[in-house]
Structure 1
Amino acid sequence: MTIRMQRRLKMLIVILCCLLFIFVSLYVYNLLAVKKGEGDFPPEGNFINVEGINLHYYSKGKGQPIVFLHGGILSGNDYKDVMNLAANRGYHAISFDRPGYGYSERPEGMEVTPITQATLLHNALKTLGVDRPIILVGHSWSGTMTLSYAVQYPNEVAGVVLLGAAMYKEGYPAENGDALSKIITIPVLGDTILNTLLKTPLGKAMAKSMVEETFAPEMTPAGYIEETYALGFRPGQLKANREDVLAFPKTSEKLSPQYKNIKTPAVIIVGQKDPFGMIDQARRLQQELVNSKLQIIPEIGHMIPQLHPQVVLDGVEELKVQR
């Protein structure tokens, strides 16, 4: 081996060692940052094991059960203000962290879709002893999950409230997938990105941008960006979110022909300033559901549960008029 080759080999070894050091440092830093975030925002609800999966949920009040399904950013705690209102009004309010979000585990070794999540939710409610017909409230991504539950268990649903909900492949923001979701779900490469970059300034800027765009044109609540960065930008939760984004179009395409068979009373609520095209989806669904009412609320955007809890509860109360 020539001296020049030896030098090149030494340089290559130095470069590889530097890259390994950077990778390990980022991995350890991200791991510690995730633990800190969970310490800053610990679980506040209860846990239940269903089919070997630990699910985290919130429960308040007694009476007619209302089950709240959150969208694609954070957790069941998005409904905390709505739950307080509902409990004070004489309802039993229940909100789950969907699989992989908040402090709920995500099933491994199987495809997780709005349909499988609805089935898991049904089994969780049975385990909790909720045996009365429920009112289902679904926000954003959970629109299809909510309707899947109504299709699968029609006799167990007393009413449905949909909030800025997505129900159809056509018009869904990631109708054809998106680059970020595809990259993050690539084996090895995706996990490397998730475990080294989420807690860097790049990840923090991404969290801030995602939250502000989702709340636009309204203001983001105090502390929501911080909680999203702490919990929503953990490797497991962001991967679950991206898997959900990719699973939505094919699931809604499969399920949507069955929407017309839903006879359950439904209230469809959407903000006049929703930035994601959900008004068109809401109008389309209202035409398909025989027992539904559409409400387009002036001057509000997409994040109805977090910013307008009274609108949500008014929608629940509206179901009584339709029965």
Structure 2
Amino acid sequence: MSTITVKDGTEIYYKDWGTGQPIVFHHGWPLSGDDWDAQMMFFLKQGYRVIAHDRRGHGRSGQSSEGNNMETYAADVAELTAALDLKDAIHVGHSTGGGEVIRYAAKYGKGRVAKAIIISAVTPIMIKNEANPDGVPLSVFDEIREGTGFNRAQYFYDFPIPFYGWNREGKTVQEGIKHNWWRQGMMGSVLAHYEGIKAFSESDFTEDLKSLEIPVLVLHGEDDQIVPYNQAPKAAKLLKHGKLISYPGFPHGMPTTEAATINKDILDFIKS
């Protein structure tokens, strides 16, 4: 396996295929780099170098008891990109990974990041508070914590239904995708997944978004049942060079179920 050991001793697993301009993929909670299969194969065939890591506590990476927070996630990416000496890189993040991309690019990416794409992302902030009155109530995240921390196997078996929008009329569960979501989730650490809920729901990326000078593409499904669509226009508005594309009817997990559309729009943005 390809791994690096970051400064606190945690091993970070990654896949690194091909040559050319690097595209780095940042997965969502509670998954792994395997969630990017449809993108890794597509962009590899387009002549890019494709890299996907498993976030600490997820997939094949080390299950540390510390550092399950956005600051450490971004610092781990910084160590990985330095170890691989990535420059002129495109960073693509889904959901929690979208937040990770923005925090990494803002804090560590100068001179290394050319463009960023965030998909169904948790930016600028998910939780409902005085500054974000139309956010998601804390009670929703407490329910996710309870299911994840103390009934994970069943909770993760059920979670793909709204994640991929299969509870909508006329939609059919794709059993292979559902089982693959469960497989990825159960590979990771229950502690990391539990603590990661706070990381993706309460991290505030407002200043990170404002500070970025690079072009950023914001993609979001209008029928996202996990990260509400209203996040996307807020994030795009905060960016100096942001572009928003929204998709009527698309679910949270659209990089998998709508890969052909998503891949084309990412490629067009990279080439623009």
Same fold (TM > 0.5): yes
> Which residue matches 1:241?
193
Is residue 2:111 matched to residue 1:155? yes
Distance (whole Å) between structure 1 residues aligned to residue 79 and residue 200 of structure 2: 21
Is residue 2:72 matched to residue 1:139? no
Distance (whole Å) between structure 2 residues aligned to residue 275 and residue 229 of structure 1: 18
> Which residue matches 2:234?
284
What is the alpha-carbon root mean square deviation over aligned residues?
Answer: 2.5
Q: For residue 306 of structure 1, report the CA deviation from its aligned partner.
A: 1.3
Is residue 2:81 matched to residue 1:118? no
CA contact (8 A) 1:268 1:282 kept: yes
Q: For residue 125 of structure 1, report the CA deviation from its aligned partner.
A: 2.0
Instruction: Give runs of aligned pairs for residues 67-86 of structure 1, distance below 5 A.
Output: 67-86=24-43
In structure 2, the gaps of 5 or more residues are: 127-131
Structure ranking higher in helix proportion:
1
> Which residue matches 1:98?
55
SS in 1 for 2:82: helix
Is residue 2:203 matched to residue 1:251? yes
Decide which of 245, 251, 256 is 1:295's aligned counterpart: 245
> Which residue matches 1:179?
142
Distance (whole Å) between structure 2 residues aligned to residue 312 and residue 229 of structure 1: 23
Percent identity (aligned): 23
Deviant stretches of 4+, over 6 Å = none
Distance (whole Å) between structure 1 residues aligned to residue 95 and residue 5 of structure 2: 26
CA contact (8 A) 1:267 1:318 kept: no
CA contact (8 A) 1:174 1:245 kept: no
Is residue 2:157 matched to residue 1:208? yes
Distance (whole Å) between structure 2 residues aligned to residue 219 and residue 148 of structure 1: 36
How many corresponding residue pairs? 259
Q: For residue 242 of structure 1, report the CA deviation from its aligned partner.
A: 1.8
In structure 1, the gaps of 5 or more residues are: 1-44
Please tell me whether Structure 1 or Structure 2 has the larger radius of gyration of its CA atoms.
Answer: 1
> Which residue matches 1:224?
177
SS in 2 for 1:314: helix
Deviations 1:117-170 (A, max 9, x none): 11111101221x233121110101222211101111232110011111111134
